[in-house]
Amino acid sequence: MARQFVPGAIDGAPCPAMEFEHGRFWCGMVRRPGHYLGLPAWGDEEMGAMIGKALGTGKGCCADVG
């Protein structure tokens, strides 16, 4: 999702919205989308919830780590 909407995102490069904190990775598009989209932070909670729902957060990981 970040590659589609974050200005300057590069295909094949790591996700520009991937955040690392407290020993784990987090989706910045869910945590603080305004930061990555150049929008005011007051919409982060609502927008982050919508992005999280679209990504299926909390449903388990289907990442290919092999």
Q: What pLDDT digit, counting tens, does each position of 2-35 carry?
A: 778 888 788 888 888 999 999 999 999 999 999 9
- The verdict on residue 28 lying in a domain is yes
The angle subtended at Cα 25 by Cα 5 and Cα 44, nearest 5°, is: 45
- The verdict on residue 62 lying in a domain is no
- The verdict on residue 30 lying in a domain is yes
Range of the domain at 29: 2-6+15-55
Query: How many whole angstroms separate alpha carbon 16 and alpha carbon 21?
Result: 15
CA distance readout (Å), 26 to 2, 7, 35: 13, 19, 14
3-state helix, strand, coil in the chain (%, to 5): 40, 10, 45
Please give the model's pTM, rounded to 2 decimal places: 0.76
Domain count, the chain: 1
